[in-house]
Structure 1
Amino acid sequence: MITLTIAQIVHALSGEPFLAGGDTLATTVSGAVDTDSRLIGPGDVFVAKPGEHTDGHLFVPTVAEAGAALAIVEHPVDAQITQIVVADVVTALADLARENVAGVRAHGRLQIVGITGSNGKTTTKNMLARILEDEGETVSPRASFNNEVGAPLTMLRVGDGTRYLVSEFGASAPGEIARLAGLVEPDFGVVLMVGLAHAGGFGGIEATFHAKSELVRALRPGGLAVLNADDPRVAAMAPIADERGVSVRWFGRGEGADVRAGEIEVTATGTSTTVTVDGVEHALRLRVLGAHHVMNALAAIATATALGVDAAAAVARLETLELAERWRMQPLGTDRIRIINDAYNASPDSMAAALRTLAQITRPGERTVAVLGAMSELGEFAEEEHDRVGLLAVRLGIQRIVVVGADARRMFLEAISQGSWDGEAVFFATADEAFDYLQGELRDGDRVLVKSSNAAGLRFLGDRLGESVS
């Protein structure tokens, strides 16, 4: 965070100060900001957020002992630390993030990129950050810090020397992207795709379209929307950009895209294609698995080159990226038995992409094994979409389908109904049961995909399998 006086913070948060330790309203604060008391050190700012399992206010004395400079609270706490009392600490966190970014923008050359889409946000964010970090100081979210807490915490890492802020905007309901993007009014907005991820919260695909288009509406006039030309719903955001006085840069597979990909080859060691950037071809060899990640790479390249990065340099930097993110198409194990742990997020689109990748990377003589858990937040679409995954797994010829958890059971039932009834498809209520089965089932030459939403917890099963076969 930039240096601010307590008076400036009080004004930005519409709070009430309770000074301690000789502090005055003129005292300055410039430390890191976090809601996790374990990450707070001398000079930092602690935001005492109430949570599902505990209350941050309980840890105000702890951060005071750790040397924190300031606590933002919803009620005064008996601790020797200056506190600012606010009506709602999550709202205050957003207000402080807005103040911080505005301060940097007023005196520096900060460029802000917002990324949204039903799938691929974190991978694209990491790809773009990898390209930009060689150009200047770049701040991007840790993991998937893309909600009402994570996005402001990322914005509060911006300092006077920051040249690029890459923000990831997720949402589970209408209006969330508008609020988050509205904190910083991005210069560039990347929309990857409109799918059924979180459709239960939005109320359907058209509502999802309107929610994702909130990023385009939030761009500052004169900005740039980087849009997926292959997704009709994303392409339909171009008129919104025009209304906002925002230009459009297209990425995709078609000839009309400013940044486009040619034929794609997927192997167990990476993904290859040719990328054409404004008419010039570049060979691209990604270490990240999966054809679907080519679109994420195109979005990153389209944005980076719009920011002035040389296309060849952007491509070369992407080729150094070994992993999109932990638990996202993460290779584990050995060549003998390869585990692909992709169980951090799952939607119908990403589930299908992961299954297709599994089929593509498996050579003759090797066996495909899909360990599948539930997809969250699909609402009324949940039963139909889980059925579709079971059907797709069978049609792709996946040789072992291991379904885990009651919420995913329909995948198993659909696979059985499609003919995978002779041991090809099995169901287990728990990850421990699935692990015990797989310990005796896996053999040399197996290529194993572990895929589910975060809530299903299969990412830890993937880790255990990776360790067991290494």
Structure 2
Amino acid sequence: MTAPLWTAFDIASATDGEVFGDFAAHGVAFDSREVGPGDLFVALKGEATDGHRFVDGAFAAGAAGAIVSDAVNGPHVRVADTVAALDALGAASRARTNAKIIGVTGSVGKTGTKEALFAAFDRAAPGAAHRSLKSYNNHVGVPLSLARMPADTRYGVFEMGMSAAGELAALTRLVRPHVAVVTTIAPAHSAFFASEEAIADAKGEIFQGLEPGGTAIIPFDSPHRDRLIAAARPYAGRIWTFGRGEGADIRAREAVRGHRGTLIAATLPGAELTFSLAPPGDHWVANAMAVIAAVHAVDGDLAAAGLALADMAGLAGRGRRVTARVRDGDALVIDESYNANPASMAATIALLGEEKAGRRIVVLGDMRELGEKSPVYHAALAQPLAQANVDFALLVGPEMAALANELEGRVDFAHVPDAAAALARIDDLIEAGDAVLIKGSNAIGLARLVEHLGSGAVAAGNKPCSI
């Protein structure tokens, strides 16, 4: 049996709590539906629900103990505030590790970059790398991900997100990264920001938590490069840029697309590296440069990183490819159902245009949180759809009305109100030989279409399309 992640007395020491029944936990969860045998259940109190209602269910699922603020049956640590206790547990986990810590943020590409970094470190040090699971990147998910990190971890990779100014500053001071990476800045969450420059400023908060002498990694080709450099300068011991352009510190000098991926020749400070990148697209070339930069910054194994990037597969909701069985044959389904913003929409539509297929079909859901410019951003998708020679577009949600108006006479389309209506049409729409891109904000629920089409499906090869 491996050493426990937390003992009851460790938890009490970290959270200023009181032990009621000794226990040892091997995992941490705040969602009772995710609790497994031996886990610690943190009963969070929020505006919508109270985790104390699910403590009995967590123990029934095998929880070893719980963090609570009310008296409960079963071994537990009682604290004044369970949300503050989770923060404290995350901080204690960070304090006890000697791991190299990498923080990742950005409007686009942060989850894919985080997963690629984990794959690189896990390849070099199997079982000694840790990362945020799913998209646990907010004020609750980040401390949870920290609390789940074993003490003997060698490399930790943490995704950090935000929807308001000041949020990243708090998260990064909890994570205290040795390396802070910003991927792409784009108009995501623009409903909460006055401009894209304001989004860049909020993303630049990640540098405020850098450990002394830490490295800031910034997209060279971004129009916000200089703004991000200025944000990093007071906190970073070293600033590296990555990208395709002349002058980038970590640069893809050559990127040649082939049948099995992209062959990249990269130049780094004091090194050169040639490797294959499995995920297609220029956005993934940029992501790969960010990964290589972060690995190099912590003196990691660049060869192992190159091998990991060659083996990268698509993530569910972020580029996974499945084969749908349709009548007389198969259709390719590209699952981008988890998230959408103008930059990621344009990138994945362009990749669809490169697919060799009988027909190219898109199922596009609303892009949420774009504010008053939402109609402009949605209508602007007409151009990439036309350039990709899309044969048919199924538009889902009220905000897609702007794109529907723009597509009149340009691309065949249908506009439906919600995912349920799209699900009712999808079987009649798709034919054998089609390539189908399904993409929208997660709240639209287009994952239901992917699940339906993928029922009994097999993987369509190791050639993902993630953003």
In the alignment, does 2:119 pair up with 1:126? no
1:36-51 pair list within 5 angstroms: 36-41=31-36, 43-50=38-45
Superposed CA offset, 1:382-415 (max 9, x none): 1211111134323443221110122322221221
User: How many residues are paired up?
Assistant: 449
The reply to whether residue 91 of structure 1 matches residue 84 of structure 2 is yes
Instruction: Give the conservation status (yes or no) of the 8 Å contact 2:187–2:342.
Output: yes
Query: Residue 297 of structure 1: which of 270, 288, 291 is its match?
Result: 288
Indicate which of 255, 262, 268 corresponds to 2:246. Answer: 255
Tell me the equivalent position of 2:344. Answer: 350
1:60 and 2:47 are equivalent in the alignment: no
- Residue identity over aligned pairs, in percent, reads 36
SS of the equivalent of 2:381 reads helix
- The answer to whether the Cα contact below 8 Å between 1:277 and 1:311 also exists between their aligned partners in 2 is no
1:230 to 214, 221, 226: 221
> In 2 relative to 1, CA 414–264 (structure 1 residues): closer, same or farther, beyond 3 Å?
farther
Residue 15 of structure 2 aligns with an amino acid whose one-letter code is L
Report if aligned partners of 1:72, 1:86 keep a CA contact under 8 Å in 2: no
Partner of 2:26: 31
Residue pair 2:20, 2:76 contacting (<8 A) in 1 also = yes
Write out aligned runs for 1:335-346 (5 A).
336-346=330-340
2:353 corresponds, among 359, 366, 369, to 359
Query: What SS does the corresponding residue of 1:236 show, helix, strand or coil?
Result: helix
For the 8 Å contact 1:435–1:465, the answer to whether it is kept is no
Amino acid in structure 2 at the alignment position of 1:184: V
Secondary structure at the counterpart of residue 132 of structure 1: helix
Deviation of the 1:193 alpha carbon: 1.8
Tell me by how many angstroms 1:129 deviates.
0.7
Which among 315, 318, 325 is matched to residue 328 of structure 1? 318
- The reply to whether residue 461 of structure 1 matches residue 449 of structure 2 is yes
- Tell me by how many angstroms 1:292 deviates: 1.2
Residues 323-357 of structure 1: per-residue CA shift (max 9 Å, x gap): 2x211111111694211111111111101111111
Q: Is 1:119–1:192's contact at 8 Å kept on the other side of the alignment? A: yes
Tell me whether 258-267 or 127-136 shows the greater mean CA deviation: 258-267
Residue among 6, 12, 15 paired with 1:13: 15
DSSP 3-state at the match of 2:41 = strand
Correspondence for 1:161 among 152, 156, 181: 152
Could you list the runs of 5+ residues in structure 2 that have no partner in the other structure?
Answer: 459-467
CA distance in structure 1 between the partners assigned to 2:359 and 2:275 by the alignment: 28
User: Structure 1 residues 91, 203: CA separation in 2 closer, same or farther (over 3 Å shift)?
Assistant: farther
SS at match of 2:362: strand
The runs of 5 or more residues in structure 1 that have no matched partner are none
TM superposition score normalised by structure 1:
0.87
Aligned counterpart, 2:104: 115
Distance 2:251 2:320 in 1: 25
Q: Does 1:242 align with 2:233?
A: yes
Structure-2 separation of matches of 1:219 and 1:412: 45
**Structure 1 residues 434 and 4 mapped into 2: Cα distance closer, same or farther (>3 Å)?**
closer
1:257-296 correspondence to structure 2 within 5 Å: 257-264=248-255, 270-278=261-269, 282-296=273-287
Q: Distance in 1 between matches of 2:106 and 2:60?
A: 42
| 8 Å CA contact retained: 1:274, 1:282 | yes
Question: Which residues in structure 2 correspond to 1:122-201 (within 5 Å)?
Answer: 122-136=111-125, 137-201=128-192
Higher relative contact order (CA 8 A, sep 6+): 2
Give the residue type in structure 2 aligned to 1:117: G
Residue by residue over 1:78-101, the C-alpha shift from the partner in whole angstroms, topping out at 9 and shown as x without a partner, is 4233331323x2232112100121
Specify whether residues 441 and 63 from structure 1 end up closer, same or farther in structure 2 by C-alpha distance, changes over 3 A only.
closer
* DSSP 3-state at the match of 2:145: helix
SS at match of 1:46: strand
- Aligned pair in 2 of structure 1 residues 64, 20: CA closer, same or farther (>3 Å)? farther
* 8 Å CA contact retained: 2:68, 2:77: yes
User: For each residue in 1:291-342, what CA deviation from the matched residue of structure 2 results, as whole angstroms up to 9, or x when unmatched?
Assistant: 311111111111112222343332122111222x211111111694211111
Answer whether contact 1:13 1:86 (CA < 8 A) is retained: no
> Larger deviation: 202-211 or 157-166?
202-211
Deviation at residue 63 of structure 1 after TM alignment: 3.3
Given the alignment of the two structures, is residue 203 of structure 1 paired with residue 194 of structure 2, yes or no?
A: yes
Superposition deviation, residue 111 in structure 1: 0.8
- How far apart are 1:117 and its partner, in Å? 0.4
SS at match of 1:72: strand
Equivalent-residue separation in structure 2 for 1:166 and 1:92 (angstroms) = 22
Aligned mates of 1:166, 1:180 — CA distance in 2: 13
**Residues 186, 315 of structure 1: alpha-carbon distance in 2 compared, 3 angstrom cutoff:** same
Q: CA deviation at 1:11?
A: 5.3
Corresponding residue number in structure 1 for 2:463: none
| Equivalent-residue separation in structure 2 for 1:358 and 1:247 (angstroms) | 38
- 1:426-455 CA distance string (max 9 Å, x none): 112233433443322323332211110111
3-state SS of paired residue (2:123)? coil
CA distance in 2, matches of 1:305, 1:275: 12
Structure 2 distance, partners of 1:133, 1:60, is: 34
Distance 1:242 1:340 in 2: 40
Preserved CA contact (<8 Å) 2:204 2:232? no
Instruction: Pick closer, same or farther for the CA change 1:61–1:464 going to 2, 3 Å.
Output: closer
Given candidates 77, 96, 111, the residue that maps to 2:71 is: 77
Q: Is the 8 A contact 2:103 2:175 kept in 1?
A: no
The Cα offsets for residues 119-160 of structure 1, whole Å up to 9 and x where unpaired, read as 101100111111111333011011111111211111112222
Cα distance change, pair 13–273 in 1 and its aligned pair in 2 (3 A):
same
TM-score (norm. length: structure 2): 0.88
8 Å CA contact 1:267–1:361 kept in 2: the answer is: no
Letter in 2 for 1:79: N
Question: 3-state SS of the aligned residue for 2:136?
Answer: coil
Q: Tell me the C-alpha RMSD between the 2 structures.
A: 2.6
Which letter does structure 2 place at the counterpart of 1:347? N
Structure 1 position 113, deviation (Å):
0.4
Provide the secondary structure at the position in 1 that maps to 2:57.
helix
Q: Could you tell me which of 402, 407, 410 is aligned with 1:410?
A: 402
1:430 aligns with 2:418: yes
Which among 350, 374, 379 is matched to residue 366 of structure 2? 374
8 Å CA contact 1:327–1:342 kept in 2: the answer is yes
Bigger shift: residues 447-456 or 458-467: 458-467
SS in 2 for 1:462: helix
Looking at structure 1, the residues matched to 455 and 24 of structure 2 have their Cα atoms a distance apart, in angstroms, of 45
Q: Distance in 1 between matches of 2:62 and 2:364?
A: 46
**Alpha-carbon distance in 1 for matches of 2:27, 2:457:** 40
C-alpha separation in 2, matches of 1:331 and 1:269: 15
- Aligned-pair distance for 1:381? 2.2
State the alpha-carbon separation in 2 of the partners of residues 143 and 59 from structure 1.
22
